[in-house]
Chains A and B, each alone.
Chain A
Amino acid sequence: MQSITISLDNLSIYIALFCAVVSLVIYVISAAAKRDDHDHVINKIAGYVYFASTIFVGFASVHLMQQILSLSHYDVAYIYDYSGPKDELLYRISSFWAGQEGSLLLWTLFSGIIGLMLIRKRAVFAPATMAFWCSIQTFFLVLLVVADPFRKFAEYLPEMVGQGLNPLLKNPWMAIHPPIVFLGYAALLAPAAIVVQALIKGDLREWSNKALPWAVFGWVSLSAGLILGMVWSYEVLGWGGYWGWDPVENASLVPWLTGTALVHGLVMQRYKGRMAWSNVILALVTFLLVIYATFLTRSGALSKISVHSFSDLGAYAYLLGFLIFYAIICNDLPLLAWKSIKPDAKPLQPVSKDFIVVVGVIVMILFAGVALIGTSLPLLTKVGVKPEFYNNMCKPIGFVAALAILISSFISWSRTGNSPVSFSFSKSSWKSGSHVAHIGVLMMMLGIAFSSLSKTEKLQLPMGGSSSSAMGYDFTYVSREKTSDTTDTLIVWAKHNDHQIKIPLEIVNTNRGMLRKPRIFSFFTGDLYVSPADIKITPSASLTKDGWMSLPAQIPATEAYVTLLGMNVEKREVTLQYQAPGQDAREITVAEGHPATVGDYTLIFDEFVQTGEGQEMGANAGVNLAVEGPGLAERAIIEVSWKPFISLLWIGTALIILGGLMATWRRFREYRTKNYGILPDNN
């Protein structure tokens, strides 16, 4: 754990924390004294203190951004780690949220601003809501004290220059992905804060109208964040996939799913008066799951097993403490309003709109449960599940969800909506954001189904040599060009009948490792996805007694075979049998550092290969041999995949975001004008 020090740089975080605690205390007093009036002096005072807290979070953010952009504050560990003088402006800006501390600061700023909007809205405002909100701000600010973005190196040498952003993150999608995710998280906390007041008052009628715009906004923002992550994974990581069921991905998927269920439940409550109680639970559970996601990814709890989780910055205990604190609060709060619950007035009629939406909500909750259990399992048992678990579980989920979406698209929230199906959608309903988003979901599901049909093949291509075919294309490795100090570009051609594509594949060497950039060619029927795997300057063969390779091993691209006869580890030499076509077999000994020439080829004994270091050379020990000679050109290893109809997935996700934005705009407008469009005969 790092030591906690106050400096001029992080002073504003401390002031913000102090203000957040003060406003928390005042709001608690105000809530306890039932001073619910927006204009009451006690609420005015608390509001100003909260405003000050947010202003100081803003100061801290501006200060960090300014230090990043000034290119001269590399004594700050965070800036040194994520920012560098050679980075472009966009990536210098995005280095603000590239790491744990900065992204926490950004999240605190977003939720601070949303808190101000909750105060401003006369109808939403309630001291209990704001007390809850201030407690969240306090929670984040304590974390920022522990994980201090302004922490300086104890020993700083002036020649230390920023490392620069990880080249993997230098992608426009990745630059905007974190802010959008955190905006979504922050907004999804609002329904929970709003329901707190409703529970304390024991009145569950009004809160859902106040919470709906925030739920929809948080939902679309988190959706966009998840989708941007998928695009980035597909375009940059080069493994050809877009979703890997990684704990960090799952941690944000679970609140997204309950958030989706919440949005549906809130709409149902508005139009039909149903699901009032489920919505209370969903709002609180979504809130808890956002905090749980923060805990999973930032406490270091999964740092041993997940590749993406943050390392522990000493915040484990705090995070676990806050999680338990909120779990208790969220568990007990609903009891306050237990008496005021009325069972849903009318029983559900099968195959009515209400029925279909309830089925959809149940499916999403089950899906959330699957992802939650799969992700949390390693925490409790040290046993993980393979992606097959999620993939298989998604089949029934996807089937029922698709069916529910299809059927519900044809039934409107009509007055007789509780009677059996009346296929009576009006044309205007297709202009609604909900319909656009649901069509997007169906297209996305189709795209996902098609992607299970994608095929992958690995090719080894000699430079200027023969072509190999995969996915109906003939691939030829033409040349390698040094396109910059750090970049090698492999020029590969793909030929299909008369159609030729030039595929420049970049391999970038950076101080943070090698980056192999995939190339994607989109056609109507699918994507051709080509990624460079490696360049082999000299072909080499691995030979072992138990046969890593088939023995005798053929020297690549030749007719000659080499067999490993024996090894002498102490003398560091190996005995080989060399067999060229039409010649007698020859036995030769090759010592380390002394290449041997047989025929046209030079055999270079590269190294011993062993599976247990410090052990005797066992049965499975072997050698790596490199071979040089005529016709043995440099080789490129590339991976070629065909992704059928993957554009459906991306068009679908775009429609989801578009529909979500349309719905957000509509719900905020309805809220402003108090025109909820509730059908006349609803309770």
Chain B
Amino acid sequence: MNKLVYVIGALLILAFIGMGAREMMQSQSPYVETVAEVKSAPAGSSVQFIGAIVPGKAKYSADGKELTFFMKDKNGETLCVRFEGVKPQNFDTAPKAVVRGVYKNSDFHADQVLLKCPSKYEGK
């Protein structure tokens, strides 16, 4: 009885680890720092682009559902980001952002926009 419990327990833990490996493969999203890398990512795969927000260009679409803004990489190449969400707090002053999503039809369709806070942790 006791041994059986240990065996079942070990099997469950192994199953959990296996599930973890599978989930990790499915939900991975590499970090990239250039627009060229964003564009060369396999079609439909998620990447996280780290770049600077081009200031003052963010706009909501006519029906108010989609936010569009531009980001620039260190080579000066820009990327048009479309995001069906709300501008995060501090968007207008954030020097940098991390956008996660899929590159499709020459735009970046983001499902998450995270900002580098200029002041929460960082000093000048």
Contacts and interface: CB of A to CB of B under 8 A. Distances in A.
Interface residues of A, number: 85
Contacts of B123: 77-78, 81, 99-101, 311, 313
A612 B29 contact: no
A612 B78 contact: yes
Interface stretch (A41-49, A116-124, A276-284, A376-384): A376-384
A398 to B, nearest CB: 13
Given A383-B29, A512-B90, A540 B23 contact: no
Nearest to A169: B120
Contacts of A392: 19, 23, 27
Interface in B97-124: 97-98, 100, 105-107, 114-124
Interface string A611-624: 11110001110001
Nearest to B96: A307
Residue in B76, B79, B116 whose Cβ sees the most chain A Cβ within 10 Å: B116
Contacts of A78: 123
B104 to A, nearest CB: 12
A6 to B, nearest CB: 20
Contact of B93 (A513, A531, A613): A513
Contacts of A421: none
A668 B22 CA distance: 44
A532 B33 CA distance: 31
Contacts of B76: 613-614
A393 B19 contact: yes
B20 A393 contact: yes
Contacts of B120: 98, 166, 168-169, 308
A238 B33 CA distance: 28
Contacts, number: 198
Contacts of A516: 86-87, 89
Given A348-B2, A611-B107, A311 B98 contact: no
A382 B30 contact: yes
B78 A304 contact: no
B59 A542 contact: yes
Contacts of B88: 237, 239
Contacts of B62: 539-542, 549, 553-556
Contacts of A382: 30-31
Nearest to A541: B62
A350 B1 contact: yes
B29 A386 contact: yes
Contacts of B93: 512-513
Interface string A177-220: 00000000000000000000000000000000000000000000
16 contacts: A166-B90, A238-B89, A239-B86, A239-B88, A307-B97, A355-B5, A377-B24, A384-B29, A393-B23, A459-B64, A514-B90, A516-B87, A534-B60, A548-B68, A611-B78, A637-B60
Given A350-B2, A389-B27, 4 more contacts: A77-B124, A349-B2, A388-B26, A392-B27
Interface of A: 77-78, 81-82, 98-101, 163, 166, 168-169, 236-239, 246, 297, 304-305, 307-311, 313, 347-350, 355, 359, 362, 366, 370, 373-374, 377-378, 382-386, 388-389, 392-393, 396, 458-460, 512-516, 531, 533-534, 536, 539-542, 546, 548-549, 553-556, 609-614, 618-620, 624, 635, 637, 639
Task: Return the 4 tightest CB-CB contacts between A and B, nearest first.
Answer: A460-B64, A513-B93, A389-B27, A386-B27
